[in-house]
Structures are given as structure tokens and as C-alpha cells.
Amino acid sequence: MTYDELRELSYSGAQVLHEGAIYPVREKNIPLNIRNTNAPDHPGTMIRERFDSGKDPDRFITGITGRKDFSVVSLSKRGMSNQVGVLRKILTVFERHNISIDYTPSGIDNVSVVVPTEAIAASLYPILAEIQQEVRPDSLVVHDQIAIVAAVGRQMAFRPGISGKLFGALGRAGINIRIINQSPDELNIIIGVDNRDFARAIQVLYESFAI
């Protein structure tokens, strides 16, 4: 995997190796080889800045990980897409309360702010009151007990049907998708599911992509 993929995985919940721990070798462009102590002859995982795109043509998902216990603050406002500064006002409210935002999936006239429940619990009601005052949304709701699952892979952008396969696998397993988000560089696909479906969603995706 690349260092960028490692960062995506560690940020989304993988805890085996934190991207910050290998910062020195990344700065010096030194490849890192992680091996299994119980199988020392196995080639293990090679981490580098980049790889030849022609290698491993059948491997397009690097890993799947996730975290539980997120809250989603969702608001809608008619004509929001035509109003300059609305998103800035919303994000500024969270900034005033020193809340770091994980994801902001959005539509034409709606936006959701995804944050860890623990981080927002103490200041939730003041935040909602300030958003109401600043933006005057048509609706403002909070959804709790949400888990975030991330599928990471540098070649996903060049593989038609990856999203369809992912959503189809979850649908067949009866898992309802609450959030869909994708990074601009198409390095990951982020989905939100109910906390109760978290472990099952991870299992289903591992089995579907044979990671």
C-alpha cells in the first residue's frame, strides 16, 4: 500500500500501524515492509510513496476499516446551494466549539456534518441553537449511533462498478446505508451504517472483496 492509503486507513479506524509512527521513513522515502512474526517467510505488506500502476491489476481494495459512535447533524434549507457562505457559517459554529469535523456529505439544499458523538455531546445543544440562529434551516436533526466504514484503495477510481458491488453486498445482507461519501481523489468510499450493523458490514465487505 501507499503512505496515503495507510493514512486513510489509520484515520478511519485501523490501529495496527499509525501513519504518524512512520513519518520519519516517509520523509526519507524509505520503503517499509511489515511482516507477520508467525510467518516470517511471507512477503508481508510493503508500504511506499507510490507503486507502478501496472502491478497487481486485480487488487484494487487495500483495506476496510471503520469506527463506531458518530453523530450526524443534518440540515436542509431551500435554495441553500444559491446562498453564498452558508456552509462556512455552519462549519464556523463547530470551530467555535473546538469540534473537529470528520466528514461533510452534502446535496443541493442539504448538508450533514459527521463528528464523533463523544466530541459533540457536551456542546450539542448550543451548537444546534447557533446553527438555527446563523442559518435558519428548514429542518435540523441529529442522528446518533452511526458507524463509519471506509473501503480504501488507490485503484478504485479506475475500476467501474466498485461502488455498485459494495452497495449491492450490503443490500443483500440487509444492511441499511445511512451515509455515502467519497474523497475527491477516489482513494476511499465512506459509508455510514447503524452501530448495530457495524461488525456485519465489515465482515460482508471483506468477504465480497476477498481481502
Q: What's the whole-number average pLDDT of the chain?
A: 86
Instruction: Give the pLDDT score at 133.
Output: 96
pLDDT tens, residue by residue, 163-179: 888 899 999 999 999 99
Long-range contacts of 136-140 (CB under 8 A, 24+ apart): 136/77, 137/75, 137/76, 137/77, 138/76, 138/77, 138/78, 139/74, 139/75, 139/76, 140/73, 140/74, 140/75
Instruction: State how far the alpha carbon of 123 is from the alpha carbons of 4, 90, 126, in Å.
Output: 33, 15, 6
pLDDT tens, residue by residue, 11-47: 777 666 666 677 788 888 888 888 888 998 998 888 8
Residue 162 pLDDT level (bands cut at 50, 70, 90)? confident
Listed in order, the ranges of the chain carrying CATH 3.30.2130.10 are 73-145
Question: Residue 2's closest CA among 65, 56, 68, 46?
Answer: 46
DSSP letter at 100 equals: -
pLDDT at 158 over 80: no
Query: What predicted TM-score, i.e. pTM, was given to this entire model?
Result: 0.80
Instruction: State how far the alpha carbon of 211 is from the alpha carbons of 18, 49, 51, 114, 153, in Å.
Output: 20, 21, 19, 27, 11
The residues near 51 (Cβ < 8 Å, ≥ 6 apart) are: 2, 154
Helix axes 124-135, 86-96, angle to 10 degrees: 150
Secondary structure of residue 204 in the 3-state scheme: helix
Instruction: Give the pLDDT score at 210.
Output: 65
pLDDT at 1 over 70: yes
> Is 73-145 assigned to CATH 3.10.20.600?
no
Instruction: Give the pLDDT score at 88.
Output: 94
Task: Evaluate whether 90 touches 75 at the Cβ level (below 8 Å).
Answer: yes
